[in-house]
Structure 1
Amino acid sequence: MELPEAFKEKMKNLMGSAYESLLDSYDQPESKGIRTNTLKLKPAELVKILPFKTQDVKWCEAGFYIDHEVRPGKNPYYYAGLYYVQEPTAMATVEVLDPQPGEWVLDLCAAPGGKSTQIGAKLQGQGILVANELVNSRAGILSSNIERMGIANAIVTNEFPERLVDSFHESFDKIVVDAPCSGEGMFRKDPGALADWSLERVDRCVGKQEKILESAHRLLKPGGVLVYSTCTFSPEENEQMIESFIAKYPYTLADMKLSGITDHGRVEWTRQNEKAIEKSLRIMPMNVNGEGHFIAKLIKSETASELRTAKPGYPKSRLKKASQTELIDYQNFVKNNLEPGFYKKFENRLYLLGEHLYALPEGIDLEKIANLKLLRTGLHLGTFKKNRFEPSYALAMTLALAEAKNVCDLKDEAQAYQYLKGEALNMGTQKGWILVGFNGFPLGFGKASEGLIKNHYPKGLRIRKK
């Protein structure tokens, strides 16, 4: 691999005798991995049904290495949301964060969704995940991945981080800042990161990271946990960034222990010789099977709360509480198609946005988020059409097959691909809505009539070929 000369000179000066090992690592194939979606099954259950070999990732119980030649995004289980394709060292950040069911968690720079979906799985449907992404196109990908993984308690925002402060000031128990960075750990994986790298880009990233961390501080509760990570090796974006942050704000660095990771932040790479930097993790590709990451876990002081006057004049939310009259078609759909008890899951949290019905996460203040650009507000249950309710793909992905009364569980991979292409299925099932699955796991809805299942898999997700 042809690395930029300025990068090589910089790393040679920093790393000394370890420099050649770093260079050698760039000539190795990239590390590929998948992470089990534990909302749907256990890691051991996933391994049993996968058609390719896996190897455990030491620091993430749900994570597995896969062979370089494997194309995991071409398998029906991928479309069933059973796993997320993720670089193995990137899995370490949320393991350090350790979200617990019931907590409010923010992923501040969330696209494409690896860390958000990992958080969502750990929350197990309890609490709230807010996943934010500034770039429009990437925010759409983030929202799609959250849907595919069946996460019902997520809000996806498309905002500058500072715009979230008015709505969520000191609201979160835990925050991840997987900061936009110069991407030196992505060189093997992403040729674009290699082409875009420059010393000037490092400087630009430093400025962005400082602003993002300032917003994260204002969004985190006193006593809360902030985990900062990057996929760069640059001290300016790692050790020096955290050194500067804890000098300005009331945080302490926490110890971290992850199996298989022994390298720590370099005090000698700081500006002020901050000893606490030793508690951060610096994951380098010549020492682990992975692309590399930097991680720091910061605990906000219990006494760090700042008074903030409530912003007057919040706009009125476009979402409105659904009345019993407005819910009749939805109630009929649930009664006829889903098992008893499903309605009670969300009955007090049903809101309308035009013709669309949403189940909001518990505890959200609609007025406070009305001024934000929202791509997803909880679970999109479906859409009201003339005299009927049409269920959503998002709803299908949160269900277990056992929760639906009418199921078409495909066992043939060719039939699964037929459905994923958007084709009708000739299955001779009874008339009405059908939850279509593959080997026990939902893929989406179809509607049966005259022996055919009309395909309702979203057009934007349909595959062209196997």
Structure 2
Amino acid sequence: MRKTLKEQLPAVFTDRMETLLGSEYSAFYNSYDEKTYAGLRMNTLKITAEEYLKLTGQELEPVSWCPTGFYYNGSREYSKNPLYHAGLYYIQEPSAMFPAQALPVEEGDYILDMCAAPGGKSTALAAKLHGTGCLISNDISASRAKALLKNIEASGVRNSIVLTEDPKNLVPVFPEYFDKILIDAPCSGEGMFRKEPSMMKAWEKNGPDFFSKLQREIVDSGIRMLKPGGKMIYSTCTFSVEENEGTLKYILEHYPDMHVIPIGQTGDGLMEAHPEWVDGPEEIRHARRLWPHHLKGEGHFTALLQKDGEKPETLEEYGEKGMKALPEEFEQFLKDGGVTISFDPSRLILQGDHLSYLPENMRPLGKLRRMRTGWYLGDIKKKRFEPSGFFARGLSPSECTNWIDLELDDPRVIKYLKCETLEVPEELPNGWYIVGVCGHSLGWGKVTKGTLKNKYPSGWRWQ
């Protein structure tokens, strides 16, 4: 007879958890026989939860610890949906919504998401910034960072930098630079066993001891990049004491100017951490454990820390300077394409053919490996400007007059997402247009005599 999922759990893991949880262990163990929970989080750069529910007529159960998060039934109708492709929501495991929600972001903050792929937490942080300040999203794996980049671009984030660096290489460029840092650290993934049983074999190969060493190297770098008065989230998707309370004890012992502070966010099933498990200071109890037998989610660990000192009142002027004037090709495109927002030339940079718009007052990045530097607007080729899909995703109808908006049930929406040519009214003037659905941008198209040549990015094509 085939073993149930809970019967497949490694014995070393179950023995350890039984010792930790005592009378609660039976409920924890039996949770592996229960269903997993699917979640989606609204992208408030584009739509509020109330607006989305009104638009779709759906009734979704809210996630108690994330005001923009909801449970859904896990069906493909949410991932195979034009509104998803328009970036209105991000599909995310409910427990994983908590770390970004727990970081108290203020508009104008400069934020680092240090281990950011595939982008769920970065897109949540970007939405909280509301287009202000700067979000630097980093992942050491260039292959994983491709998904991170796609999710940031699809979400319409304008003020982001995407890097692929070892965290220690960021420190010389960004010493005490960031107002907020999120470290969702690589971990042994015990909270993923129910959702991805294959993680059990990886756990047996590289368990808590391996990852706790790696996590401490990462937090060393993060703390050195955090401003005095700045706040940092440390989180994992594992239950391991070494990787959770143990890492907090390491931080408090090695960095006396760092403190675990209360998380203001509330919600069902957010349980206190356990300093007694590591003979650590009482302040560790401020961290929160999300256990699968206490809530509808796979589980997470989240701690909010703050560095002593006062946050500088004024932002140091770094100013990586760009251009003195808008390129003629770009300026002409803005006029012809009906784009009404203004651009500061000093924040425009041209890297080869690629024209990008830097976040305000961005520090020079030196030789750091990067996948995207700011809002990628498009390419200047043979005295003409070719806009990017990322440019379109960052625009709203109030910022571009050349707009072809389609209803959700219009068959041309799927045709457009499949990169097919569309027929449009012949009286529509020739030129560049944004193609949107229900008032939300999908991408560009170029109209010539009643035919729209599709400029939707091939890498985003509807499959």
| Same fold? TM cut 0.5 | yes
In the alignment, what sits opposite 1:370? 366
The answer for the alignment partner of 1:264 in structure 2 is 272
Q: Which residue of 2 aligns with 1:21?
A: 27
Is 1:220 paired with 2:226? yes
Residue of structure 1 equivalent to 2:157: 151
Match in the other structure for 1:311: none
Give CA deviations for 1:334-368 in whole Å, capped at 9, x if unaligned: 0121243x1x24443111111111110111122xx
Out of 374, 386, 391, the residue aligned to residue 390 of structure 1 is 386
1:229 counterpart = 2:270: no
| CA-to-aligned-CA distance 1:309-330 (integer Å, 9 cap, x gap) | xxxxxxxx9x973353x71110
Query: By how many angstroms is 1:387 displaced?
Result: 2.4
Return the alpha-carbon distance in structure 2 between the equivalents of residues 170 and 133 of structure 1.
19
CA-based RMSD of the aligned residues comes to 1.9
1:308 aligned residue: none
Q: Tell me the CA shift for residue 268 of structure 1.
A: 2.6
Please state how far the C-alpha of 1:99 moved relative to its aligned partner. Answer: 0.9
- Aligned-partner Cα distance in 1 for 2:339–2:163: 32
Q: Which residue, out of 337, 346, 349, partners 2:347?
A: 349
> Paired residue for 1:242?
248
Partner of 1:310: none
* Residue type at the aligned position of 2:434: L
What is the letter of the counterpart of residue 461 of structure 1? W
Instruction: Identify the range of structure 1 (182-191 vs 443-452) with the bigger mean alpha-carbon deviation.
Output: 182-191
Distance 1:262 1:437 in 2: 39
Distance 2:159 2:389 in 1: 15
Tell me how far 1:52 sits from its aligned partner: 5.0
The letter for the 2-side match of 1:371 is: K
Paired with 1:147 and 1:380, the residues of 2 have a C-alpha distance of: 9
Cα deviations across residues 130-169 of structure 1 (Å, max 9, x unaligned)? 1000011111110111000000000111000000001111
Q: Deviations over 1:366-404 (max 9, x none)?
A: 2xx121001111101111111211111111001012322
* Identity value in percent: 41
For residue 26 of structure 1, report the CA deviation from its aligned partner: 1.1
In structure 2, C-alpha distance between the alignment counterparts of 1:363 and 1:280, rounded to whole Å: 34
- Code of the aligned partner of 2:290: I
* Runs of 5+ unmatched residues, structure 2: 313-318
Does the CA contact (< 8 Å) of 1:358 and 1:380 recur in 2? yes
Aligned to 2:421: 424
Question: How far 1:94 moved relative to its partner?
Answer: 1.4
Instruction: Measure, in 2, the Cα distance between the counterparts of 1:303 and 1:116.
Output: 26
Residue 118 (str. 1) matches residue 124 (str. 2): yes
Partner residue, 2:451: 452
Check whether the contact 2:322–2:346 (CA below 8 A) recurs between aligned residues.
no
8 Å Cα contact 2:38-2:72 kept in structure 1? yes
Secondary structure in 2 matching 1:81: coil
Of residues 52, 58, 72, the one that matches 2:64 is 58
Q: What's 1:314 paired with?
A: none
Consecutive unaligned residues of structure 1, counting only runs of 5 or more, are: 306-316
Match for 2:276: what amino acid? E
The residue number in structure 2 matching 1:403 is: 399
- Residues 1:140 and 1:347: Cα distance change in structure 2 (over 3 Å): same
In the alignment, the residues of structure 2 paired with residue 65 and residue 238 of structure 1 have an alpha-carbon distance, to the nearest angstrom, of 27
Q: Does 1:283 align with 2:281?
A: no
Distance 1:339 1:456, change over 3 A: closer
CA deviation after TM superposition for structure 1 residue 108, in Å: 0.5
Cα 1:71–1:126 change in 2 (3 A) is same
One-letter amino acid of the counterpart of residue 247, structure 1:
E
Partner in structure 2 of residue 461 of structure 1: 460
Q: What's the CA shift for 1:274?
A: 2.2
For residues 52 and 184 of structure 1, the distance between their equivalents in structure 2, rounded to whole angstroms, comes to: 33
CA drift of 1:261 comes to 3.6
Residue 322 of structure 1 aligns with an amino acid whose one-letter code is: M
* In structure 1, distance between residues paired with 2:56 and 2:344: 33
Q: Which moved more, 1:183-192 or 1:194-203?
A: 194-203
- Look up the SS of the partner of 2:292 in the other structure: coil
| Residues in 2 aligned to 1:102 and 1:267: alpha-carbon distance in whole angstroms | 34
Q: Is the 8 A contact 1:76 1:413 kept in 2?
A: no
Amino acid at match of 2:424: M
Q: Does the 8 Å CA contact 1:30/1:68 hold for their aligned counterparts?
A: no
Tell me which stretches of 4 or more aligned residues in structure 1 moved more than 4 Å. none
Deviation of the 1:67 alpha carbon: 1.2
TM-score by length of 1: 0.92
Alpha-carbon distance, 1:299 to partner: 0.8
Normalised by the length of structure 2, the TM-score is 0.93
Q: Secondary structure at the match of 1:64?
A: strand
Q: Structure 2 CA distance, aligned partners of 1:381 and 1:159?
A: 24
The separation in 2 between residues aligned to 1:73 and 1:148, in whole angstroms, is: 13
Residues in 2 aligned to 1:238 and 1:301: alpha-carbon distance in whole angstroms: 22
Distance 1:434 1:95 in 2: 36
Equivalent residue number for residue 209 of structure 2: 203
